[in-house]
Amino acid sequence: MKKDTENPKLKIKLTAFDYLIEAAALLCWLALFLLPLIYYSDLPDNIPRHFDFEGRADAWDGKQIIFTLPAIGTALYLLLSIVSRFPHKFNYLKSITAENAARQYAIALRIVRMLKFIIMAAFVYIMMGTINTALGKLDGLGAGFLPFLLLVISALMIYGIMKSRQAG
């Protein structure tokens, strides 16, 4: 369905918190590359490539698979970074007007930024779990990882919906 009018295009000023979240996401993304490089020579020939719902390694592969997670992480990081340049194209709970556009865009962009950080942090956790499981220091990611991740993402979405409704 085509809209009758376009949402206004605005440049949203980042707050100190927004810069902090961006920096944290960037640091996590960098860690995704550094960790495999640091540990690669110590890894055995076969390492976990998949974990089940309870966080146990259930599939193994050659240690070169360690570079798959940084590749996927980079794709997601770039996708979320690009998407955040177009808040006027997002779908919103309320109609966007000249009066509420800046508030609604700021909320939406903060949610995207926080989601990017959560995903990057989760990938770093998975990377560390993969490395430590391969080295025999851990037995997987832990049964609480997936429920915790889903809870955090769900809480973020609920927070975003509530903030959006309050913003008018």
User: What is the identity of the amino acid at 6?
Assistant: E
Q: What are phi and psi of 91, to 5 degrees?
A: -90, 135
Angle in degrees, CA 26, 27, 30, rounded to 5? 85
pLDDT at 1: 42
| pTM for this predicted structure | 0.92
Q: Residue 15 pLDDT more than 50?
A: yes
**Residue 105, token pair as written in the block:** 């865009």
CB 10 within 8 Å of CB 88: yes
Q: Residue 2 pLDDT more than 60?
A: no
pLDDT at 18: 97
Q: What is the pLDDT of residues 20-77, one digit of tens each?
A: 999 999 999 999 999 999 999 999 999 999 999 999 999 999 999 999 999 999 999 9
pLDDT over 70, % of the chain: 96
pLDDT at 5: 65
pLDDT at 167: 81
pLDDT at 94: 87
Listed in sequence order, the residues at least 6 apart from 116 whose beta carbon sits closer than 8 Å to its beta carbon are: 21, 25, 76, 77, 80, 81, 84
